[in-house]
A and B are shown apart, each in its own frame.
Chain A
Amino acid sequence: MKARVDQNQFLEAYNQYADAIFRHCYYKTSDREKSKDIMQDTFTKAWEYVSSGKEVENLRAFLYRIANNLIIDGFRKKKSVSLDDLQDEGFDPGVDKTDEMINIMDGKLALGILDQLGEQYREVIVMRFVEELSVKEIAEVLNERENNISVRLHRGLEKLKEIFNHEQQS
C-alpha cells in the first residue's frame, strides 16, 4: 500500500535507517566520508520525492534503492582529487577524529571477510543478515526476482563457509 510521508515520519525514518544506509554505502565504497555524503544525499533525494506529493510503498527499500543509484553514479563520475587542490579551494580537514574513528572502525574484520565474497554475494549477504532486509525488499532494491536473490544468498553463505574453513586451516 503506497502512502504519503510527512515531515515527522521522514525524520523518524532518518533516525531508524541513517546508520543502515551509511553502512550499506560503506561496504560498497569502502570510503567512510563518501558513504556519509551518499547517505545524506539519499535522504535529501527521498525527501524531494515524497514532499512533491508522490507516494512510496516501502520507504526503507526506497532509500536503499536511491543509495544504490547514487553509488553507481559516483562510480561513473569517479575522479581523483588531491588534498592540495581541495585546500586551495578552501577545504578545511577540520578536527582530527582519529581516536573516535578507531572505536567505530571495528567493522574492518567483517569488511575483510566480506570483501572475499565478491560484490555479487557481499551485497545480498550484508542486506539480508546485517541490515535484516527481507528477500522481497532486497529484490525490490536490486530490481531483481526474489528467486535470484535467494539463490545468491545461498551461494554467498556457501562461500562464507569456505572462507571460514580456510581461516580455520590457516
Chain B
Amino acid sequence: MNNNHKEFNKKIIDDARSVRLTAGEKAEGRNDLVKFMNTHPVSDAKAVKSPYFLTSSLWIRSGAVAVLLIVIMGGTAFAAQKALPGDVLYPVKIHFNEGLASLFTFGASNNAKLNQDEIAERLQETEVLSAEGRLSPQAKAELTASLLTNTQDFDQHVAEIAAASDTPEAVSLAEGLSATLKLHLQALQTLGIEKLLDTTSASSTATTTVSTNIQGTSTPPQFPKKKRHVVMSVSSSSTSTITEPIQGPVIRIFLSPEENASASATVPVPTVVIPPISIILPPSLHL
C-alpha cells in the first residue's frame, strides 16, 4: 500500500516534469533573449546603492543614532523648559536643563546671576501654580527648598566676589536679587518665606545693617598677609563688635591673622572711611 502510494507520487512527479518547452521553443526564446540583452547591455554604472545605505557602515549608523538621541534629548529639554512642579518633565527641567546650565557657568559672578535667574524662575512657577490653584504642599516644599538652596548659593558667590575686593559688583548683584525678590513678594508670601527678603546678602546690603568684625567673631575668608579686605562698605564709629543692626551700610573688615593677633578693642576701625556708599546704594533700596 505504502509502496503503491510512493509509486503514485513518483508517477505524478515524473509526469509533471514531462511538461517542458520543445527544443525549438527553447532555442527561439533564447534567441529573443540574446537580442534583448544586446539592446540592453550591462550598465557600467556601479551597483545602485540602497537608499538605506546608512545601514552599511557602523560608524555612520552610530552617528545617526547619536544625532537621533541629541534630537530626542534636545526636544525633551526644550519641552521641559516650560514644565511646572508636578509635571512629568519638571525633574528634567530642574536636574538636566538647570544642571547643564550650572555645569557650563564659570565664575562667581555668573554663577550668582544663574542663581538669581533660577530664583526668579521658581517664584514665577509659584505664581503660575498658585493662579491655577495647583500649588500642592509637595510643590510648595519643592519650590521652597530650591529657593533656599539658590539664595544660599547666591550669598556664597556674592561673598566670594566681595572678598575679591570687587565691592561694586557684589552690591550690584545683591541689588538685582533684592529687586527680583521684591517683584515676587506675593509668591514669597504664598510660600511663607518672605523672611528671605531680610536674610539674604541682598537684603543685608539694602537694609544697610552694619556689622563689623575685628577680632574674628565670624569666620573670615583666607587672605594674603598684610592685606585688609572690606567685604561690604562704610565705617563704624565703634571699636568693638557691633551685634545689633544699626542704620547705615554694611561693613565687614577682615584682618589677616597677624593683624588679628595684634588687634585690640582699641584698634581705630573708623580710619576706614568709604564715603561713596551713599552713591552705591540707591535710596529706593533702603527699606
Chain A residues packing against B (C-beta within 8 Å) = 4, 6-7, 10-11, 14-15, 18-19, 22-23, 26-27, 36, 39-40, 43-44, 47-48, 50-55, 97, 100, 104-111, 113-114, 126, 129-130, 160-161, 164, 167-168
Contacts and interface: CB of A to CB of B under 8 A. Distances in A.
Contact of A23 (B11, B20, B29): B20
Given A14-B29, A18-B29, A107 B37 contact: no
Contacts of A11: 30, 33-34, 37
A48 B33 CA distance: 11
Could you say which of B19, B30, B34, B45 has the most chain A C-beta atoms within 10 Å of its C-beta? B19
Interface in B35-62: 36-37, 40-43, 45-48
A97 B21 CA distance: 13
Contact of B43 (A39, A43, A52): A52
Contacts of B25: 36
B42 A6 contact: yes
Contacts of A109: 11-12, 15
B21 A7 contact: no
Contact of A19 (B4, B20, B42): B20
A80 to B, nearest CB: 25
Given A44-B36, A51-B41, 13 more contacts: A11-B37, A18-B21, A22-B19, A27-B19, A43-B33, A44-B33, A47-B40, A50-B42, A53-B48, A107-B17, A109-B15, A160-B12, A164-B9
Contacts of B22: 97, 100, 104
A55 B47 CA distance: 7
A106 to B, nearest CB: 4
B121 interface: no
A52 B46 CA distance: 9
Contacts of B16: 23, 27, 107, 110-111, 114, 126, 130
Contacts of B19: 22-23, 26-27, 104-107, 110-111
Contact of B48 (A10, A14, A52, A126): A52
A39 B34 CA distance: 15
A50 B26 CA distance: 21
Interface of B: 4-5, 8-9, 11-13, 15-22, 25-26, 29-30, 32-34, 36-37, 40-43, 45-48
Give me the 8 closest cross-chain CB pairs, A-B, nearest first: A107-B19, A110-B16, A110-B15, A19-B20, A106-B18, A130-B16, A164-B8, A110-B12
11 contacts: A11-B33, A18-B26, A18-B29, A22-B21, A39-B29, A51-B40, A106-B15, A110-B12, A110-B19, A111-B19, A114-B12
A160 B9 contact: yes
Main secondary structure of the interface of A (DSSP, over half): helix
Given A100-B22, A107-B16, A7 B29 contact: no
B22 to A, nearest CB: 6
Contact of A164 (B5, B29, B30, B43): B5
A120 to B, nearest CB: 17
A168 B1 CA distance: 10
B20 A22 contact: yes
A126 B4 CA distance: 20
A67 to B, nearest CB: 13
A102 B41 CA distance: 39
A110 to B, nearest CB: 4
A4 B33 CA distance: 18
B33 A53 contact: no
B47 A4 contact: yes
Nearest to B16: A110
A53 to B, nearest CB: 5
Contacts of B8: 164, 167
A15 B32 CA distance: 13
A50 B143 CA distance: 68
A54 B48 contact: yes
B9 A47 contact: no
